[in-house]
Chain A
């Protein structure tokens, strides 16, 4: 096990690479999910506040609208 973490003397380079990759990927996943959650709750709030009055204007264009 110790040998595994030692990485033939290159531990600092190998583990820094994997640690950095994990950190960047987790940050990207976390940020993407937070953004999605925030935008969809904002949209739901605004739609509720509008009470259906602006739903047509706000809804994405539908095929039969053309």
Chain B
């Protein structure tokens, strides 16, 4: 029997299938993450040259840029999953959205902190209220607000809807962050990797950056799977407790 696209969509929405599939994926994903991050760190710290202007502080970029990339990826996953949850009532979508938030928040924090640690020696300031930095700080607060909303509403279905609306409203910030360095005169430099005319950084630096970005991305998806599995279990625990309460026992 062949499934239609819609049936397949809902088949993978089935938590039992998701649990089985994710369990098989986790071990190989974890190994791949460790290998990529290991290779990335080797090139980032040992096997790449200092920059002619930035000196050794260029190595901060190999943590800063992938963190900032995950800050954006995390929010995009969250907003996309929220849209799917609102429109299609896909049963795993709000689990996916909720699970992406703490990971995204952690990497947004890292992007801000490492940016600051690079800014002090290179720009002479820890912080500047320029468009890039301010919009990323807003992203951090959006993540915190989103997680606070989930924490305050007890019923997961109601919490999911409220949080999804917040995530979608905040999604406007993503293109603002991306183009902030183009639209406004920022202290932060413009994009040097994903450009229309190709990357403008030296290959010896593009390699550690690419490996670290790939390693961080793999780490994101590994952690996302673990957190989604935990969230599904949390709901199972909740349902079991409600069922027990319904039976009058305890």
Interface residues of A (CB under 8 A from B): 4, 7-10, 13-14, 16-18, 20-21, 24-25, 27-29, 32-33, 35-36, 39-40, 42-43, 46-47, 49-50, 53-54, 57-63
Given A29-B223, A54-B247, CB of A10 within 8 Å of CB of B57 = yes
The reply to whether A17 and B244 contact each other, CB–CB distance below 8 Å, is: no
Q: Which stretch (B144-152, B179-187, B229-237) binds chain A?
A: B229-237
Expressed in whole angstroms, the Cα–Cα distance for A6 and B106 within the complex equals 28
List residues of chain B with CB within 8 A of the CB of A8. Answer: 50, 55-56
**How far, in Å, is B92 (CB) from chain A's closest CB?**
10
List residues of chain B with CB within 8 A of the CB of A20. Answer: 110, 113-114, 117
> Which chain B residue lies CB-closest to A31?
B102
Given A24-B109, A60-B15, A62-B14, CB of A13 within 8 Å of CB of B240 = no
Task: Report the interface size for chain B: residues with CB under 8 A from the other chain.
Answer: 45
List residues of chain B with CB within 8 A of the CB of A18. Answer: 45, 59, 63
Within 8 A of A (CB), among B1-18: 10-11, 14-16
List residues of chain B with CB within 8 A of the CB of A54. Answer: 240, 243-244, 247
List residues of chain A with CB within 8 A of the CB of B46. Answer: 4
Given A24-B110, A32-B230, A62-B16, CB of A53 within 8 Å of CB of B57 = no
Expressed in whole angstroms, the Cα–Cα distance for A61 and B10 within the complex equals 11
> Which chain B residue lies CB-closest to A39?
B233
Expressed in whole angstroms, the Cα–Cα distance for A60 and B95 within the complex equals 13
The binding surface of chain B is classed by DSSP as helix
Give 5 nearest A-B pairs by CB, closest first.
A39-B233, A60-B15, A54-B243, A8-B56, A46-B240
Can you offer 19 A-B residue contacts whose CB atoms are under 8 A? A7-B59, A9-B55, A9-B56, A10-B55, A10-B56, A10-B57, A13-B57, A13-B60, A13-B120, A18-B63, A21-B67, A32-B223, A32-B226, A42-B237, A43-B233, A43-B237, A58-B240, A60-B14, A60-B15
Known contacts A4-B46, A8-B55, A50-B243; 9 additional CB pairs below 8 A are A13-B60, A17-B117, A25-B219, A35-B227, A35-B230, A39-B237, A40-B229, A43-B237, A60-B16
Contact of B233 (CB < 8 Å), options: A14, A24, A40, A49 = A40
